[in-house]
Structure 1
Amino acid sequence: MLAKLGMSSAIAEIADGKLQIEPGDKDVLFIDSDLNVTVETGGAEPSRCLPVIGIVGVEAPSRLRSLMQLGATATLRKPVHRAAVYSALFVGINEFRRRRYLADRLEQHERRRLLRKSLVKAVLVVMQRTGADHSAAYDLLRRESMRSRQSIEDFCETFIQANGPELDEPETTVGTTKTYAKKP
């Protein structure tokens, strides 16, 4: 059936209960849950490298769990019928793409969340230098980031690195009023 779909297949060598796969080397991994092997992909999770389709003979919870830990996005039941291969490939590849898209988005949002600290520092620097309120300072930074075709977080990170967080450091405190001195 794989040949009719324009795919070629190869049987991987298993050494010491481990299957070595280089990312980008293959397009889809079919793995038999009855073999009880671990998959090594050179640092990346198998579920991040390629779609994994599990071939299930015995539906023991431990074997199903090991398939889920490998990132199986579809399954085929033994004995494998030709008609089930296409639908398993369709579901497995599309689910892999969906998971990959969501994981990439999550990483992007996490990266932007970590850069929010630079955004706050940049707003404070602009407020101090221009005397503007926080809304006007944010709008100024947003306009400049759009002009430079960067996200506001990336722009503020670059802004802080280039200009330094030249916020005044507290020098003395008088009651509840703080006196600030400019950094040299």
Structure 2
Amino acid sequence: MAKTPNFTGWRVVILAEEDANTEKLRRQLALLGIAASLQWLPLADDQLPDLVIVDADRGWDELLPWARRKPARPVAALLGSEAPGRIAWAIDCGATAFIPKPVAASTIYPALVLAVTAHEQRMEDEARIAKLEERLKLRPIVFAAVNQIKADRRIDDEQAFVLLRSGAMRRRMPIEQLAALLVGGLETLSEAG
């Protein structure tokens, strides 16, 4: 089970015009220990808060400084409309939680938890994918190292890969790193094989 965040000390920017909904929202955020500011101007890329709440009913593309579906911070959307275009816009902005209008105090904390949890998961997934893509790019080097070990030791593919893997484990480094060192002539395998 995921740990729910403690929002005390967090800074939130509400991208909306002042009204009864934002007033209630700010009051509830203060009770959660969150410093909230309200603005109806585009968010500056160099002054990002811990979390963004955006009025999806009236928002526009340049309101947020990041590319579509690539939010730099967790995003929750204030939404009173059922218009598919407004919902799609909020999702494109990176919103992973909605706070319905009129705002009810009981909807705010769960929306913030959901937005933060989904954002953290997205960041972990993107990091994992980037790491896998990097490893995939290095597969030809691993293949070259396996071929080199095969030729040097006169063994088959499977035995060569086992030697490479065990050598990487002994050195506590990724297989790809050891393969690059072997192919570059900077390392040798002294393991029996």
- Distance in structure 2 (CA, Å) of the matches to 1:139 and 1:72: 46
Aligned partner of 1:116 in structure 2 is: 139
Q: How does 1:1-184 map to 2 (within 5 A)?
A: 1-12=28-39, 14=41, 18-22=42-46, 25-38=48-61, 39-41=64-66, 47-162=70-185
- Distance in structure 1 (CA, Å) of the matches to 2:166 and 2:151: 18
Larger relative contact order, structure 1 or 2 (CA cutoff 8 Å, min sep 6): 2
1:39-70: CA deviation from partner (whole Å, max 9, x where unpaired): 114xx666442111011122211111111111
Structure 2, unmatched stretches of 5+, are 1-27, 188-193
Amino acid at match of 2:58: L
- Distance in structure 1 (CA, Å) of the matches to 2:53 and 2:75: 6
Retained in 1: the 8 A contact 2:149–2:160?
A: yes
In the superposition, the TM-score normalised over structure 1's length comes to 0.77
Larger Rg: 1
Structure 1, unmatched stretches of 5+, are 165-184
Count, aligned residues: 158
- Say which SS state the counterpart of residue 164 (structure 2) adopts: helix
- Distance in structure 2 (CA, Å) of the matches to 1:129 and 1:12: 67
CA shift, 1:21, in A, is: 3.1
Q: What's the C-alpha RMSD, in Å, of the aligned pairs?
A: 2.2
In the superposition, the TM-score normalised over structure 2's length comes to 0.73
- Distance in structure 1 (CA, Å) of the matches to 2:90 and 2:185: 49
In structure 2, relative to structure 1, the CA distance for the partners of 1:12 and 1:49 (3 Å cut) is same
- Distance in structure 1 (CA, Å) of the matches to 2:45 and 2:101: 24
Amino acid at match of 2:165: R
In proportion to residue count, which structure has more strand? 1
- Say which SS state the counterpart of residue 36 (structure 1) adopts: coil
Identity %: 28
Please say which of residues 68-77 and 155-164 is displaced more in the overlay.
155-164
